[in-house]
Structure 1
Amino acid sequence: MLAIVALEVPLGINVVDRIRSDANAQALSQAQSTAAAANDSIEPPQLANLDELVKTNAATSKGRVMIFSAEGLTLADSSGPGRSGADYSTRPEVKAAISGDVVQIERHSSTVDRDMLATAVPVVHFGKTVGAVRITQGTAVITDSVNRAVVGLIAIGLLVLLLGSGAGWIIANQLSRPMRRLEKTAERVYLGDLNARAAIEGPREQRALAVALNNMLDRLIGMFNSQREFVADASHQLRTPLQSLRIQMDEIAYANKSPEVESEVAKANAAITRINSTIDQLLFLSRLRDRKVVATRVDLPQYAEAVVARWLPNAAAEGIDITVKGAPPWGRRYGMCSQEDLDRVIDALVENSVAYSNGKGPIEIGAVAGGIEITDRGPGLEVGEEERVFDRFARGSAGRDRPEGTGLGLAIAKEIMEIWNGSVELTNRTDGITGARALVLVSGGVRDDEDHDLRDDGELGDNVS
């Protein structure tokens, strides 16, 4: 842009000067040719010839042509013969011309109220000045020519700018395309697709970056595979001795019927059950993003009713009422998710509510805008625990004295919902009642009266994120 301005400004000044110079030279040439043609017709005055001469040259010059005697009296005027005899000797350009000088000036004419270019030359016959010729032209013609030239230069500049911008965009796009592809590869990796690989292309620095990224991904996949294999091997190796330990505990209980032994055996079996549950959940976490899962359209209000029906016996065993919240005002809503995954998430949250309600109820489950809400009347959360409870093996302040649980349920729930582009959050109730509120938002929730193109089902492959 600056280069175009730097080029256009001096070029424009030069063009304007050239147009004005050409106009002045043309007017002077016409005045001199008229003077040369009139030198034989002034002394004695041949008015008919002079009238014809000024009319012809006025048409050519597109101005007013006048011929004067040596005294400055009008002999012929292209504006009409009635002006003959008028005295113009006091006009500066006429006075200078009959004195033998060539004059060209721009001045404002009060008669026609516009700026004029006046060109006056002497008429010389055998070396003697016998009269003068004056041609007056409106400068509007010159100004129009200047304006057209300036507009043309601006148009050319804009065209050059447009073409240059287009060419620059094309070149920049060609140069940045490999970088954008590398950026998209990095985004896929960020979203969990470790099978993505960057194309080795572009400048040397970018090729080196792509190679480094691919090498890093290869190492990460190797580490994750080793981790999965370790978890699988560890779970297999642990299950066998744990099963043997359970059998031994049962044999001890069978051999010794004392209440004390039976109580200790029951505690040991409960611990073995928790260890097995922890192993199962760790194994599930290690394989969470490698599953093939099917997305279905979930009717959220109906799903909330099904959850209540499923958990009613467990809640009743703890002396807790579990109910369905009233239908929301907007009617039915749907979400796209694997129902098996949604069951695991909701069950983990309801299990927490049942465990921490301490017999207080009710627990309410209902559909909200795009998700499921669960509220209880337990102790709730301490300030700052809202995010920490989703960490692996983390426990809230209310659960630190409880031996049950693996500390993985909420961590798994959060990761599952992230895979489905949803979310899960756990906060204190805001309606003035002590207790916790869990909110699970499901991706793709829509009103049942909206026209949306929802698939009946869909499958997500190796990378479900």
Structure 2
Amino acid sequence: MRRLLVQYGLAMTSVVLVAFLVPLGILARSLALERALDAGLRDAQSVAVFAGGAAQDEARLEATILSVNDDARRTTVFLPDATSMGEPATRSPAAEVAASGRALTARADGGVEVLLPVGSTAGLAVVRTFVPDSELTSGVRQSWLVLATVGAVLLAGTVLAGDRIARRLARSVTDLSDVAERLGAGELTARVAPSGPAEVASVGRVLNGLGARVAGLLADERELVADLSHRLRTPITALRLDVDLLTEPQERERMSGHVDELVRAVDAIVWTARHPRHDDASHGRCDAARVVRERARFWAVLAADQGRELRVEVPDGVLEVGVGAGELGVALDVLVDNVFSHTPDRVPFGLAVRTRPGVVEVVVEDDGPGFERPDAVDRGRSGAGSTGLGLDVARRTAEKAAGRLVLGASATGGARVVLELPA
């Protein structure tokens, strides 16, 4: 941006300089030409005073010619008897025209000749003053050098002034960009000191207000989620008491395990809300195969109750991925819950773990109707009447581990969700 502004200033200044300095240079050349021709005409007129006199004025004529001749201009008088006085010169066609009584200026080799006819008792004489090209352009080069120097100084001043202004403006815009990037990275305390032009300063104030607003909204959201433990404490306690009243030991133990998992899930949500910068997925690791087998056993009971066939394809061995077991388990739970929520009873589904070079794929697929919208992964766009938060949670889990969430269709045309995680 800074360079662009300086270049724009240089372009505008160059246009102005060309518009003014070039005509001035042409004017200087014209003035030099007119000055030289006027000097030549004056010499010719000085000699013409004596060129039309009597014979006894020849001495005065010759003296006058010697006085006007210098290193530049040279004067010659062509007398009526075809002789000449002064600087030897060839009688040109223009001199013949002047001999007919017409004064003129004509181009000659190496310069210009000023021709002035003079009448005398013996006939018509012609006074010729030769003005060389060096005198016609005398001072023009110096004028152009002065104009070029002025132009260079103006361009240098434009660069210095433009760079200073551009640096100030670019610094203001750069500060805005830096703060915007920090806000986008989650540093909600980042603020910018409004500076620069009024418009840029206004953007800075709006950006500060936006950061404060987002920080306030996220703080309210964290407090609301953190309050979840207090809101759920009473119903969970009541549920635990009801479980303890079960008479069958196995059923009581199974239900107690479910209640404990519920408590751990709520505690994890509350802890994450109170520690928003913690990134458990980026530091944790787990065996994806073991997590999928455990969650398959958990959901097998509900699948059997609804008459669903559960297909589990998990290879032997350890398949370590860069995400915590809790995070991966939650992502699988929300994906399987979507299957139960959005497909009819008795629709089969499957859990699988597959590998390819450098990647572990955790697959959840069903034989239902599939996705209605290609953007179902976005929050609030499931297309099935829900908020779509399940897919969003799974997507964020995959992205925290430098992976991705891929939606597609299963072999039977149903929904297929793949968590691609780096091995």
Q: Give the 5 Å matches for 1:26-425.
A: 26-30=36-40, 32-33=42-43, 57=70, 59-61=71-73, 65=74, 67-71=76-80, 73=82, 75=84, 86=91, 91-92=96-97, 94-95=98-99, 99=101, 103-105=104-106, 107=107, 117-121=112-116, 131-135=126-130, 137-138=132-133, 153=147, 156-157=150-151, 160-161=154-155, 163-175=157-169, 177-199=171-193, 201=195, 214=208, 217-218=211-212, 220-239=214-233, 241-251=235-245, 253-254=246-247, 272=259, 276=263, 279-280=266-267, 282-283=269-270, 286-287=273-274, 289-291=276-278, 306-308=287-289, 311=292, 320-323=312-315, 339-340=322-323, 344-345=327-328, 348-349=331-332, 352=335, 363-367=352-356, 372-375=360-363, 378-379=366-367, 382-389=370-377, 391=379, 409-416=390-397, 422=402, 424-425=404-405
Shift of 1:228: 2.5
Unmatched 5+ stretches in structure 1: 325-337, 401-405, 446-465
| Alignment deviations for residues 17-51 of structure 1 (CA, whole Å, 9 cap, x no partner) | 342232332244256447757988996879xx89x
1:425 alignment partner AA: L
2:266 alignment partner AA: I
CA contact under 8 A between 1:381 and 1:427: conserved in structure 2?
Answer: no
Q: 1:185 to 1:312 in 2, by over 3 A?
A: same
The share of aligned pairs that are identical, in percent, is 19
| Alignment deviations for residues 119-172 of structure 1 (CA, whole Å, 9 cap, x no partner) | 2346899xx986512315459x85797688568746744653453254124214
User: Once superposed, what is the RMSD of the aligned Cα atoms?
Assistant: 5.6
The alignment status of 1:22 with 2:32, answered yes or no, reads yes
Unmatched 5+ stretches in structure 2: 1-10, 301-309, 341-346
| Alignment deviations for residues 199-254 of structure 1 (CA, whole Å, 9 cap, x no partner) | 25556777676566546644654453343234323314523541342133222x12
Task: Give distance in 2, aligned partners of 1:432 and 1:157.
Answer: 77
Task: Give distance in 2, aligned partners of 1:430 and 1:54.
Answer: 113
Task: Give distance in 1, aligned partners of 2:378 and 2:31.
Answer: 84
Task: Give distance in 1, aligned partners of 2:13 and 2:127.
Answer: 50
CA contact under 8 A between 1:381 and 1:396: conserved in structure 2?
Answer: no
Q: 1:247 to 1:143 in 2, by over 3 A?
A: farther
Task: Give distance in 2, aligned partners of 1:307 and 1:292.
Answer: 18
Shift of 1:178: 3.3
CA contact under 8 A between 2:44 and 2:75: conserved in structure 1?
Answer: no
CA contact under 8 A between 1:381 and 1:428: conserved in structure 2?
Answer: no
Name 1:455's counterpart in structure 2: none
Shift of 1:12: 3.5
CA contact under 8 A between 1:194 and 1:221: conserved in structure 2?
Answer: yes
- What TM-score comes out, normalization by structure 1 length? 0.58
With 142-151 and 6-15 compared, the bigger mean Cα shift is at 142-151
Number of aligned residue pairs: give it: 384
Name 1:13's counterpart in structure 2: 23
- What TM-score comes out, normalization by structure 2 length? 0.63
